[in-house]
Amino acid sequence: MADSIRVTVWNEYRHEKRHPEIAAIYPDGLHNTIATHLRAEGFTVRTATLDEPEHGLTEAVLAETDVLIWWGHMAHDEVSDEIVARAKRRILEGGMGLIALHSAHFSKIFQTLMGSTCNLKWREIGEKERLWVIEPGHPIAQGLGEYIEIPHTEMYGERFDIPAPDTLVFISWFEGGDVFRSGCCYHRGRGKVFYFRPGHETYPIFHQPEVMRVISNAVRWAAPSGGPEVHFGHIKEPLEPVG
């Protein structure tokens, strides 16, 4: 069934062009690393980037997207409000899934869906992270061990200003003394949203098999599940007699 899920991997795609040390890890951009992996899993994958017309997220592209993966970091403000509103509509009304990776906590699309600041603490000293599986019965934990270890990463620490997740799948431990809700599932409208913390651009995190496993699992979980279309607004007649 995996091959029927259509994924669009969106990347700001600035870091990789400017910083040779990032390009060394992700030579064709982070989006292509992720896309290549997902194709190998059997998904139908395209990519889109900030500097394409309409950021590559035309109505047509979104209409053919089951799950949108979002990576952004330096240029959140350059994303057009109109495109954000379009993607949000496709999630809430159309049931498209959204996977927000790492620094996408500050992306407009994630913030507007959460309704809070999505702010957090951060520290960049290459410390160790261990993501503990808190809900082992959740499909996003499929095929994992009890935790995922990332040898060197940027730290994100609590308080993470998000609504309490519908399901909390991972909690991270950081060497320097912090914790973080690292895998957060939400239903929003007809769509599903997954926030996944790992992924700093200066570390080869998207080359790590367990990390990619989580992303594949999350694509399957977040894909539209075929529930009812919802009708809102004025209903003139009661379903049952009144009075």
Q: Which of residues 48-87 bind its own copies (CB under 8 A)?
A: none
Taking CB under 8 A as the criterion, which residues in 148-177 touch its own copies?
155, 157-159, 161, 163-164, 166-168, 171-177
Decide: 197 and 184 in contact? Cβ < 8 Å: no
Does 46 contact its own copies by CB under 8 A?
A: no
Residues of this chain, 107-126, that bind its own copies according to CB under 8 A? 112-117, 119-123, 125
Q: Judged by CB, which is closer to its own copies: 53, or 232?
A: 232
Q: At closest approach, how far in Å is the CB of 113 from its own copies?
A: 5
**Residues of span 128-147 touching its own copies by CB under 8 A:** 128, 130, 132-139, 141-146
52: helix, coil or strand? coil
* Complex with its own copies: residue 28 or 166, whichever CB lies closer: 166
Task: Name residue 132's amino acid.
Answer: W
Residue 90, preceding peptide bond in cis (omega within 30° of 0): no
In sequence order, which residues have a C-beta less than 8 Å from that of residue 192 and are 6 or more positions away? Answer: 95, 97, 98, 185, 186, 221, 222, 225
Choices 22-30, 34-42, 76-84, 190-198 (CB under 8 A): range interacting with its own copies: 190-198
CB of 116 to its own copies, least distance (A): 5
Contacts of 207 (CB under 8 A, 6+ apart): 25, 33
* Structure-block tokens of residue 165: 């997740």
